[in-house]
Amino acid sequence: MATFKQIILVITNSRGASQAFVTDDFQYLLLKEAIALIKRGVLKGVHLVNGLSGTYIRSNNNNAKEDNLVSLSVPAGSLSKQIKLPEENERVSLYADAYGKFLEKKFKRDELVYISGIARIPKKDVIKRLRPLLNAINLAAEKYEVDPNLLAAILIDEIARVGPDDLLDVLGKMGIVDTTVGLAQIRMSTARDLIKKRYYSADPNISQSELYDLLLDDKVSVQVAAA
């Protein structure tokens, strides 16, 4: 028996075109992936429309505003900030709250990290991510003369706020948005600026895609965060 999914968040580009989607089971889909699910009859409440420049996803006609793709949309250019401060945008706030409830069904309350009363990530995921990096954190803190506990706290906060939203990383690699990337959620423009100022050793002319891949390395992310 098929399991149906419903879109709860739409990410749009600067022209308002839908680029990526989040489903109610927190699967993150690029446009082509969403189209494939619709063709399989898995995504409910939407249909495909063929236009001159490609295939588009549209809401089925009904009177419900809450599942209309327009009302579910958030511009990619502002999503990076809003996902960390969901209370600033109603749609992102609803998404963050839904994800928190999704986590609470899978874990006990004392097994989760909460920010502003909303579950953001399982504690075990934070520990799993940081434990192999304790030496790297201490080395980076010593190199850049910062408190290792403060650096670790910054990393924990960033990990918790971003939660599962690797969709931002996908958009960043596509060049759609100057997104935050990796363990420390470093903004790509900030990382490039630090490289140009020689706070971190890398090719100043590194491409966007290469910079993205570099920042995905946890040890590099720790070094750049400390810088």
In the chain, where are the structural domains located?
7-105, 120-226
Q: What is the pLDDT of residues 134-170, one digit of tens each?
A: 998 999 899 888 899 998 888 888 788 765 655 566 5
Angle, helices 148-162/134-144, rounded to nearest 10 degrees: 120
Angle, helices 90-106/76-84, rounded to nearest 10 degrees: 50
Q: What is the pLDDT of residues 35-65, one digit of tens each?
A: 999 999 999 999 999 888 888 899 988 756 6
Strand partners, 22: 9, 28
Q: Is residue 211 predicted with pLDDT exceeding 90? A: no
Cα 97-185-10 angle, rounded to 5 deg = 45
Read off the pTM.
0.67
